[in-house]
Amino acid sequence: MDIDKTILDENNLKKLESLNNSKVMEVIEKFIKHCKPAKVTVLTDSKEDIDYARQLAIKNKEELNLEMEGHTIHYDSYYDQARDKGNTCVLLPKGKTISKFINTKDRDEGLSEIMGIMEGVMEGKEMLICFYCLGPNNSKFSILALQMTDSSYVAHSENILYRPGYEQFKTLESKDDFFYFVHSAGALDDRQNSKDVDKRRIYVDLEENRVLTVNNQYAGNSVGLKKLALRLALNKAHQEDWLCEHMFVMGAHPEGKNRITYFTGAFPSACGKTSTAMIPGQTIVGDDIAYIRVGDDGVAYAVNVEQGIFGIIKDVNPVDDPEIYKVLTSPRELIVSNVLNVNGVPYWLGMGKDLPEKGYNHAGEWTKGMKGPDGKEVDVAHKNARYTIRINDLDNADAKADDPEGVPVGGFIYGGRDSDTTVPVFESLSWSHGVYVGSIVESETTSAALGSEGVRKHNPMANLDFVVIPLGLYIKNHLSFGDRLTVNPKIFHTNYFLKEDGKYLNGMLDKKVWLLWMDGRVHNEYGAIETPIGNIPKFEDIKELFKQVFDKEYTKEDYEQQFSIRITKILEKLDRMDKVFSAEEGIPDVFFDHMNQERKRLLEAKEKFGKDVISPFDF
């Protein structure tokens, strides 16, 4: 490498040369010269190197020690508290198009812009070079990833969230089959926050399997291996005939039965994804992203891309989230971000205790009722404040969380949020019908901050923000994936948010009953009632499960309220979906076949029973 030894010393150069990979050397040399750091440190899988990132984050004041042993706190800029969808773009060569739902930019124009912003951006700073494995080590599922960053917080976060990959890189030999990520927080203010957020850019370059991101620190924008790598992996999955999904992976453990049934699940934000993955008595493999492949036996197998959780801390409390709360309140290595700090003790919204009226948070020195620089009242902690932990710190971590072979998938679960249309749980009629069901997932907005409350947003497979191929191709990939399986996982849909007279018809914990019903359906232990939308549970089975799980009487009135088929409301949804998908090119005919068949079944049922809302007992 033609790099000054005062920047990259002999010891760090040897670490790179030991990988014996010309592409690694070429990429690193290019960005050292372009970003111009004062120092470059290469981190391997050694404990000493992994600890270095954490200690540097504390030394640089990107993180502060908290009172609890091993806990640190990080603050992002007041204006850098969530994923920046507007400035996150997929770079496309001229003439190439993808779904209209995805922000795109001409590749030449985008690269010219961001490389201009990144020129000399690390002057006076230290570049950390880190190596990771997306997925379990030594697994056919996994993808290697190279990270270059001037943020020790980013490196520390990735050390918690992802498996080490330096030794794995040695197995590449001369191949260039890896993703790479270049990040800079840019110029920093006195709080060690990114100053130039108006020049925040997050560009995904599919041609080069890389992400360039600058002038940000919030992990959704800076930690390339998370949602940014999801886009790269989804493109790779398309090319190689496997699935990369925005899904948890969990194990269901029905009482008194010697088995584990693994489910994957995709839910838009605020639809119950984490709470489903963390249902009491079950085990978690991963909470966010899954790679799913066809095994040699024709069965679908899934792995968790990550070894950690970057979760929303709001409303984590000892009643609703006992496993996570226990981890957050006991000694271990973890990071919390953008919560209130009072003398080393963190406080967050919804934690189940009285909150202080002053302290230090994402706005700086804080007192109750104060307003931020944008004139809005600043809450005690940000509603998108986060925690970063390792999954194996949880008592309910699944024994196969790191299994390189993955876990066999018995069912896919798609979850939406609507207050007046969809039953709490139903099963699709077939694999292709299930793909259709997943494609028409909708979610109601939940507060004024997200737009008008109750507005339905379409989000196919809860993956719309990350689908970097045409939507029609994405759906076709799911259909063909099922064709290559000897056993299709069953596909289910859940909705925990049905209301009547403004009150929820389900309790927060009822989802355990729906999960155990799904488990029973996978193993053919329960019958079902076929309706125009799919198969719903029989009253007797649900009644028995509520008694068994909660010792609760589940009445016929409960069942009828929750599982009645609301004809007009469902037809209105189909009209919305017809409009959305008719505007997309390349949607497979079988998708519209299922939509038309469902519409026909609904109209026939309405005529047969003479009702707009049909009781499950009628079917």
Residues annotated as catalytic are 271
- At 201, is the secondary structure helix, strand, or coil? strand
Nearest to 227 by CA among 246, 208, 248: 246
Could you list the beta-strand ranges (E) of 343-441. 345-347, 358-361, 364-367, 386-390, 407-416, 425-427
Task: Give kind and range of the element (H or E) at residue 128.
Answer: strand 126-134
Partners of 251 in the beta sheet? 262, 283
Q: Look up residue 57 and give its two tokens.
A: 């984050």
Find where tokens 């099963």 sit: 427
Cα distances from 324 to residues 255, 317, 351, 393, in angstroms, run 23, 8, 11, 9
d(CA 373, CA 3): 43
Do the Cβ atoms of 290 and 320 come closer than 8 Å?
no
Phi-psi region of 367 (alpha: psi -120 to 50; beta: other; left: phi over 0): beta
Residue-wise burial string across 200-215, b where 16 or more C-beta atoms lie within 10 A, e elsewhere: bbbbbbbebbbbbbbb
- At 457, is the secondary structure helix, strand, or coil? strand
Could you list the beta-strand ranges (E) of 186-278. 201-205, 210-214, 243-245, 248-252, 261-266
Nearest to 351 by CA among 374, 385, 378: 385
d(CA 591, CA 86): 30
Do the Cβ atoms of 311 and 288 come closer than 8 Å?
no
Do the Cβ atoms of 202 and 217 come closer than 8 Å?
no
Phi-psi region of 375 (alpha: psi -120 to 50; beta: other; left: phi over 0): left
Nearest to 42 by CA among 79, 1, 77, 94: 1
Alpha helices for 97-218 (secondary structure H): 107-118, 152-161, 166-169
What is the radius of gyration, based on Cα positions, of the chain? 25
Residue-wise burial string across 424-444, b where 16 or more C-beta atoms lie within 10 A, e elsewhere: bbbbbbebbbbbbbbbbbbbb
Nearest to 350 by CA among 340, 342, 360, 358: 340
Find where tokens 């070894």 sit: 307
Dmax (CA) for the chain in angstroms is 83
